[in-house]
Structure 1
């Protein structure tokens, strides 16, 4: 890497971008970003301009020599980039609303990254991420791809299996949110907390939790059994766990486990919320309208506090921490999505897992876990099967594989229901699923 760093952010018009820019500003001394290229598509042009202008005001206020470039030309942005971050949403929030609403008609949870919603977000997203990878091979073959785009585990799986990009890391704010939340529960500084993470994205478990190197897992699990402490992310309203269940499980859950261990209750909760205030996508659409109105203010030169309600808490911290550790060869431990390479014994070596890793200039080095505890390994393997078949369907445009993937997913009650949901959602998302409509007629 030359003098300073060039970072290209795909999906630069996202409401999350000010969070990322704030991180680059705060960590400039150790991560000297020279150029930040914010890239978007034609439909996101207006938001890109609003966010880009706010980013420039933030950097100007900080007095830093970071040049911000706004472009719809992805290849221009990728040229000689050192890091490429991805945070895009194919079909925008309208597509997410369909992902949430359609499954509920069939008595199935509709959620952004789980069940039918996760499948169809993956089917829309994977062809685009693989196009980005092909561009990276040509314009910045030495760059690191840092993917935040959901479903992050499935997307990372697809990049590992269907592209020649090896420098790819998937990142999620859930593990760092769990660390921060536990530190708050225990009333200790977050730097004193460490969790041994293992599993998959949005299916990750804390096998151990330490404060100053001493295990406090049982104390933490007791605290997490209380309803008011059950969730650390804005987009999941936790319901609390049965103490007997947590004691027997004997590992820390992440908020997304609610969908699998409390499926019926979460479905009813989501239905009620959808009726009273709209689905999560519809809530976020209103929130984003408010955010972008704030972003337009020419006097605004900091990240507004309201962004924390968007669900991306610690996104900036996780992102900048990872990029900085790669850049400086820090060799600290962070939970990321990377190639398993034997870290989790029950998952194929070439698959993507979310696991604690030592972060080096050569990338993440997974901490070996061995076999997952028997009480969680079956569910993790089932979700990995779902991700692999879904990724194959996304790449091949195989309609039958899409039905198979959804049937494998534990949130789907039967193959009949899976086929019905896939048929309706294929039709609803047809503009963003060309690979299927080239080969079949739905």
Structure 2
């Protein structure tokens, strides 16, 4: 082919030829924009329920009839539940859950005389609907282990997840159920059928309803429903923004990889970022949608994302210095396989050794980076933050706080650290483009 007929090369994107200073400026700017968006969402979602809405929509707390086991006939209003035990769903004053910051949170049935019980149980109570022509709604419980069906006088109004012969549990989130049009001025029986997915990992205060449902007239019910959803969105907004930032970083890194002095590090870091991003993003997916069941969510985290991300980060940082240690590579892959087996078989005896083993490898690499790695200060800070982000559970075991509640919404130590580590990693990759800085 002659030069006159050779097709013109596709123009490279602006990022490929941008200067390190320009790229660094964009990294800082976009990081600040993302931080601002998160702060605004936390501030909106963390506001307490408006007093007027809460007055119009009282919680159905107080004493409920409770029975473990399962019998579909218990939904009927005519069932005699006088011999059932009584369970008080009144939450302690100013109580919140330890994750999102949901208000009016109380311990489940394990904290009310049924330790270790998993499976089906029923809650029932009589509800008097005030008279009036407006429609009435039940706002479902916003925290339940793990799924539920809600009945009014024996009629199924809806629920969270799928109960029955083959239950499918999903994350609990705000739901609203319309009462029959003629409910005003009547008394009915509200029955809630709950199923807790059997699992070796359960909290000592788990099981059943943690936030009592509420009765509300329209339109206040819809307004309160929106308030609840804002709180749920705020509770997991970081788990959306940070994975998106990771994917953006992957795109930038792959574009710049050919210009970098550390292409192998960048390639493996991109793989590690994919696993880390998916591990974080799944938290938002399971909390906002029905796309992923709770068992699938747990399996992906324990069997795939966590062990693979730890191994990939180990392999990546092992290539930051000039010559990677092959024994470290082999040990990381073996430990990742052990971690995947531990997650698949629920063998706690294997979980701790594989995590501590990978922690030891990463600390060993970190010491090498401190001693002889290029861009020593920036690389050390970035690697140390990523290491801490993956081992907050071990830090919690020695008394380090793992979650704080700015604006009333829970933000974990891992999320705080990633908010710093992601832009630092981006800046580190950009610095590898400057040949003068890596000599």
Q: Above 0.5 in TM-score?
A: no
With the length of structure 1 as denominator, give the TM-score of the two structures.
Answer: 0.23
Structure-2-length-normalised TM-score: 0.24
